[in-house]
Amino acid sequence: MGNAVTIGIPVKDGSERDAGDKCAPAPRVIAVSSGKGGVGKTNCVINLAIAFARMDRKVLLLDADLGLGNVDVLLGLDSEYNIGHLLRGEKTIEEVMVKGPSDVMIIPASGGEQEFTRLAAHERHALSSHIEGLKASVDVMLIDTGSGISDNVLFFNMAAQEIIIVVSPDPASAADAYSLMAALLKKHGERRFKLLVNAVRSKKEGFAVYKRVLFGVERRLSPFRGLNVSIDYIGSVLRDDSVGKAAGQRKAVVDAFPGSKASRCYLEAARTLSEMPVSKDLKGGLQFLWRRMLSANCNS
């Protein structure tokens, strides 16, 4: 099984703009997912989004935890509309999108509506078309997929070019992460994952959890060993009460408590991620579509 720890290797990530280019480079589309719920995905997404924005990236955050999403709540945003209005054709993407901290563009999830907990093919297509029609340019798109192995979660993971799985030191979280990776591998042939370990007591514990997950994947996904599954380590985030306190203030911890342990971990993880090479391989039609449409910022 291939695996890689790429911390500290400075590699051009392809999302840097070259003033001489006629077309902006294709954006990175990154899904953030977990098997088990409550492991810290949404906090990872919002803090990574702000961290990327501070690196001068134009960031789009799609809250795809349809029905249960809370990105707008955690950031104290006054979002009148959500993805539901978009999917029902009632509002345009520009009307639905809200501006968050550091100018991160956010598409809020539909709150408490069962209607979209399993997107139909025409709704997936509509969503893709709406994003295709987005006028703003985007360097990085982050997707909070929600947890589990529902059709929606698998769909948004496959729609992304990169998949970050968030786990906590809780063994149940690793077990559910295997189930998610197994589902993505078996149903969609997905073989490349990135891992972020959240709520650890020490960086050492974070790396130990990463190694445990690697061994677990090898054991649990052994029938697929020949397929060369790889799991890159993006790092860990220390358990820190500042995360909850920031949520109480309706802010991301990187803004509310910039000097906190968790804040520094998120910034470090974003830096590591930004320095990782981006695979040019596209996995499927939708990714091609999203990357192409989001990168359609050509002057010519």
Ligand X SMILES: Nc1ncnc2c1ncn2[C@@H]1O[C@H](COP(=O)(O)OP(=O)(O)OP(=O)(O)O)[C@@H](O)[C@H]1O
Applying CB under 5 A, which residues contact Mg ion? 41-42
Interaction of residue 239 with ligand X, rule CB under 6 A: yes
Report the distance separating Cα 172 and Cα 256, nearest Å.
Answer: 31
- Near ligand X by CB under 6 A: residue from 15, 33, 198, 297: 198
The entry of Mg ion, ligand X, none that residue 223 binds, CB within 5 to 8 Å by partner kind: none
Rounded CA-CA distance 84/222 in Å is 40
Sign of the Cα torsion 23, 126, 46, 267 reads negative
Query: Residues in the chain, how many?
Result: 300
| Of 276, 254, 275, the residue nearest 264 (C-alpha) | 254
Range list of H helices, the chain: 41-54, 71-74, 83-87, 93-96, 121-132, 151-159, 171-188, 203-220, 241-248, 253-256, 261-275, 285-294
* Near ligand X by CB under 6 A: residue from 51, 104, 180, 199: 199
> Considering only residues 15, 30, 41, 63, which one is a binding residue for ligand X as defined by CB under 6 A?
41
User: Would you say 38 or 258 has its CB closer to ligand X?
Assistant: 38
262 binds ligand X (CB under 6 A): yes
Q: Among 16-24, 41-49, 56-64, 102-110, which window interacts with ligand X (CB under 6 A)?
A: 41-49
- Taking the complex as a whole, the smallest distance from the CB of residue 65 to ligand X amounts, in Å, to 6
Binding at 37: pick from Mg ion, ligand X, none (beta carbon under 5-8 Å per type): ligand X
Do 158 and 286 meet the contact criterion of CB atoms below 8 Å apart? yes
Cβ distance to ligand X smaller for residue 3 or 236: 236
Q: Which is nearer to Mg ion, 41 or 130 (CB)?
A: 41
